[in-house]
Amino acid sequence: MRKIDEQIRDYYSQQRPSAGALARMNQIIATGSPRRSLSRLYIGAAAAIVIAIVTLWSLSSSNLTETLARQAAAGYNQKQELEFRVQKYTDLQTKMKSLDFTPVEPAMVTEMHMRVIGARYTTLSGAIAAQIVYVDAHGVPCTLYEVRSIRQLAKIGSGERQIDGVHVSFWREKGLLMVLARPIA
Amino acid sequence: MPIRPIEGLQPRDLPDEVDALLIGGYRYAFSLTHDAAEAEDLVQDACLAMLSSGAPWDRAYFYATIRNRFIDRYRRNRRVLFVALEQEQEQISDLNWDSPDVLRDGRLHRALGTLNPAERETLFLAVVEGYTAEEIATLTARPRGTILSLLFRTKKKLRELLGLT
């Protein structure tokens, strides 16, 4: 017989982040030092790149699609404040300089008569990504993620998932992985 | 690169202290999510948020940031998070009972997974971190009486889930 509190403490003391995750977190903190000379955005983007490099190695492809879908759905539901509000897509290509790729407008945007509202930087499974908000022809907001299709992310195929009331679609276009999150009709 | 100072620490102490902070933060996040991958994501998000806000790297801020990120991330997903509680204070007695080994056979893990995030969080902060009810009340923005009541009910519920009643 042992005291229950002792067992609860032992249980939580056994919980540790993976070595890769711990390294990522240390890197995030380490990159925060020279804040006087760098903008917050630059620091965030640099940290995201570090996360991307380490995370892409550590994630297994088997659950990567689920992880991406869950993150995309959560991002859609959160509706976080946009860093850039624009009238047309080309403005994003000019403004989002901290990405490690040039965002491209997918063909479906035109086909579905979607209108861009704005965007923000984010990470998708550790990789720096553009989170772009559109409204469709009916005024329903949709969130499109664009991220470089490299390393582990290159293994993601086209597909669809439904999570937390959000329909998430994956496809590859112009060298980028596209992830679209929209409400389930 | 040098790390921004953590209050009360010397630079030479930082690597170990930072690891301890991150691991502690991870365990707190795990108490909220009961999922290893989600806990890692949560701590990572919290690190980015703290860098963005310029908040000091101390445990109280870190835990509060993790908690806020958890709420931000899941509240809109319509998950049950923190249930409303009456504010009465209940008599707390014998909360630390003798128990057979429920850790090794996985019963404790399953029982904790059945608790809701608020229950696990309170249990973690009180039992593992040694926070007082007053400190938990400050962190979670709830009345102290509510915390005491929640802790009592959580222990009672845990005992039932473990089949020890």
Residue B4 domain-assigned (yes or no): no
Residue B5: inside a domain: no
Q: Cβ(B59)–Cβ(B65) under 8 Å?
A: no
The pLDDT value recorded for residue A162 is: 85
Q: Which of B128, B131, B159, B160 to mutate to test the interface with A (most CBs of A within 10 A)?
A: B128
What whole-number distance in Å separates Cα of residue A76 and Cα of residue A88? 21
Cβ contacts of B128 on chain A, cutoff 8 Å: 8-9, 12-13
Contact residues, chain A, for B74 at CB < 8 Å: 74
Q: How far is B86 from chain A (nearest CA, A)?
A: 25
A2·B99 Cβ contact <8 A: yes
pLDDT tier, B6 (very low <50, low <70, confident <90, very high otherwise): very low
Q: Which residues of B touch A31 (CB under 8 A)?
A: 1, 51
- Do B23 and B96 belong together in one domain? no
Give residue B8's region: left, alpha or beta (phi > 0; psi -120 to 50): left
Alpha helix ranges (H) inside B7-143? 14-33, 36-53, 59-75, 107-114, 117-123, 133-140
* pLDDT cut 90: percent of chain A above it: 16
Which domain-ending residue is among B44, B75, B106? B75
Q: Which residues in chain A have their CB less than 8 angstroms from residue B18's CB?
A: 26, 29
Q: Do B34 and B85 have their domain in common? A: no
Looking at the domain assignment, is residue B1 inside a domain?
Answer: no
**Nearest residue, CB atoms, A16 vs list B26, B37, B72:** B26
What pLDDT, on a 0 to 100 scale, did the predictor assign at position B114? 93
Same-domain check for residues B69 and B91: no
Q: State the nearest Cα–Cα gap between A101 and chain B, in angstroms.
A: 21
Identify the closest residue of chain A to B5 by CA–CA distance.
A33
pLDDT given at position B112:
95
Among B75, B93, B111, which residue terminates a domain? B75
**Residues B39-75 pLDDT 10s:** 988 898 888 877 776 666 778 888 888 988 888 776 6
**Within-domain flag for B56:** yes
Q: Are strands A84-85 and A2-3 parallel, antiparallel or unpaired?
A: unpaired
Last residue of a domain, one of B75, B91, B122: B75
DSSP string, chain A: -EEHHHHHHHHHHT----HHHHHHHHHHHHTTS-TTTS-HHHHHHHHHHHHHHHHHHHS-HHHHHHHHHHHHHHHHHH-PPPSEE-SSHHHHHHH-TTSSS-----HHHHHTT-EEEEEEEEEETTEEEEEEEEE-TTS-EEEEEEEE--GGGGG--SEEEEETTEEEEEEEETTEEEEEEEE--
Whether ipTM exceeds 0.85: no
Average pLDDT, chain B: 79
Residues near A94 by beta carbon (within 8 Å), at least 6 away in sequence: none
**Cβ A120 vs Cβ A145: under 8 Å:** no
For residue A36, give the amino acid letter.
R
pLDDT at B12 over 90: no
User: Do B164 and B86 lie in a common domain?
Assistant: yes
Interface contact A30-B44, CB threshold 8 A: no
For residue A40, give the nearest of B31, B52, B96 by CB distance.
B52
Q: B9 pLDDT band (50/70/90 cuts)?
A: very low
Percent share of chain B, pLDDT over 70: 76
Give the integer Cα–Cα distance in Å for A15 and B86.
Answer: 32
The count of structural domains within chain A is 1
**Is the same domain home to B24 and B68?**
yes
Q: What is the CATH number of the domain that holds B89?
A: 1.10.10.10
- Domain check: are B96 and B69 in the same one? no
Predicted pLDDT of residue A152 = 75
Is the predicted pLDDT of residue A140 greater than 60, yes or no? yes
Token representation of residue B60: 């109280």
Residues of the domain holding A122? 4-183
Q: Do B98 and B159 belong to one domain?
A: yes
Say if residue B65 is in the same domain as residue B125.
no
Q: Which two tokens stand for residue B35?
A: 């999922």
B122, B83 Cβ separation under 8 angstroms: no
How distant, in Å, are the alpha carbons of A54, A76, B99 from that of A166?
28, 8, 43
Is the Cβ–Cβ distance between B77 and A77 less than 8 Å? yes
Q: Per the structure, how many domains does chain B have?
A: 2
Residue A15 has its nearest CB partner, among B3, B26, B101, at: B26
Looking at the fold, whether B116 and B61 belong to one and the same domain comes out as no
**Is B88 found in the same domain as B32?**
no
If asked whether residues B98 and B63 sit together in one domain, one would say no
Residue B129 has which token pair?
């971190």
Determine the pLDDT at residue A13: 93
What pLDDT sits at residue A154?
79
- Chosen for mutation from B14, B38, B65, B77 (greatest number of chain A CBs closer than 10 Å) is B77
Residues B155 and B122 in one domain: yes
Q: Write out the residues of chain A at the interface with chain B, using a CB-CB cutoff of 8 A.
A: 1-5, 7-13, 15-18, 21-22, 24-26, 28-35, 40, 43-44, 47-48, 51, 67, 71, 73-74, 77-79, 126, 164-165
Is residue B164 in a domain? yes
For residue B43, give its domain range.
11-75
